[in-house]
Chain A
Amino acid sequence: MSDEHLLELALQGDGDCFGQLVERWEGKIYGFIYRYVRNREEARDLTQDTFTKAFQNLDRLSDPARFSSWLYTIALNECRMRFRRQNPAYRISSLDESRNDIEQLDRHEVTPERTYEGREKIRQMIEAFGHLPDEQRVVILMKEYQGLKFHEIADALDIPVSTAKSRLYLGLRTLKRLMEKAI
């Protein structure tokens, strides 16, 4: 069943259909939020908040085809609101969480191909990623990890497609530069 169809049924009051939509999207939304906030607990909370808010505002979604973009918009707003409310120091401490990914990498991905140097590079990349300007970070997340099309990113962020592309380009370049600096 398509998202649109589930959405229509959910709007008619079918809670199970909304549940199915949540099951379909929660992994992706969590992945997006986690890479943005880089704190597991925080990401779980924000994922819950995103779906709760989505449910509360379901009737405001005029075009069901925009569901995914709309969901990412809500997720991003939730993340930004949380950051605004919190102490700025929090963000720096949360960056340390990225080390978990590297530790996991060490435990699960100990393959001959993934050398120490390779892991070190990923670590540098994750750290550098945290220092990217917010707007570039978001576009990279949406494109690289969520696989959204450029027009979907533009729709979710309410910007022209050309702006989405230029932010992505700048983001990749900045990331490369930051990593070089770290070396």
Chain B
Amino acid sequence: MNCQTCHNELIDVLYGEDIEPSRAYLFFKHLDECPDCHQEYLELLETRELLQEWEIHEEFAPIGSRSRYERSYLARLRSNWWPWMQRIAAGVLIMIGLASTLQYLGVWKNPRMMVSQVELAEMVNDMIVARQEEDWRMIGTALLDLKEEIETRRRIELQTVYQDLQEIQKRYLDALEENNRQIQRLVSR
């Protein structure tokens, strides 16, 4: 691998994306031989690590965000049935007012308003669903963190393996050299 190829693959290795182990091996082998490329790799790695330190310390809670897009959504739906809805709502309000008046006057004696069992079940169900969604979100975040950690470890392990291989290769070359020396000695005798 030459500097140009190394340069082309730098980003792939740095992010562990689109890179095969054999190419990564050649890449790191080149880094070992080329101080300039090695330096550049380390610098970019350091910059990446620094970028990761930039955290936003704020929970996202845009005031009115939901209501705004919901308004936009409702504006579409309203076009057909909104006038009717207004009339029905007005009718319900009048009925409630009338019932309250009658209750106050003692004409109508059924003052207790209760939530039905079906409504209660729906409310509980909604709460459970909301809770499950929150759990899934947390699991998702944890998985993402885990993935990042695994990728980092993988990079470090790859470097370690490469260094070990280098060491083995060096030992092998030393042994080979020693053998050659022994053979030459035997031949000369």
A126 within 8 A of partner (CB): yes
A72 within 8 A of partner (CB): no
Give A125 to B46 CA distance when docked, in angstroms: 11
A144 touches B72 (CB 8 A): no
Size band of the interface chain B makes with A? 35 or more
Give A48 to B58 CA distance when docked, in angstroms: 17
Q: Say whether chain A's binding surface is mostly helix, strand, loop, or mixed.
A: helix
Total A-B Cβ pairs within 8 A: 101
Set of chain A residues within 8 Å of B63, measured between Cβ atoms: 44
Q: Give the residue of A31, A144, A176 whose beta carbon is less than 8 angstroms from that of B52.
A: A144
Q: Give the residue of B12, B44, B62 whose beta carbon is less than 8 angstroms from that of A48.
A: B62
A51 touches B65 (CB 8 A): yes
Give A173 to B74 CA distance when docked, in angstroms: 48
Q: Say whether chain B's binding surface is mostly helix, strand, loop, or mixed.
A: helix
B51 touches A169 (CB 8 A): no
Other A-B pairs, 11, CB within 8 Å; known A19-B70, A30-B62? A20-B133, A35-B56, A47-B60, A105-B57, A121-B50, A122-B50, A125-B50, A145-B51, A165-B12, A175-B51, A176-B43
B68 touches A48 (CB 8 A): yes
Set of chain B residues within 8 Å of A67, measured between Cβ atoms: none
What is the chain A residue whose CB lies nearest that of B58? A40
Set of chain A residues within 8 Å of B64, measured between Cβ atoms: 48
Contact residues of B between 38 and 60, Cβ < 8 Å to A? 43-44, 46-48, 50-58, 60
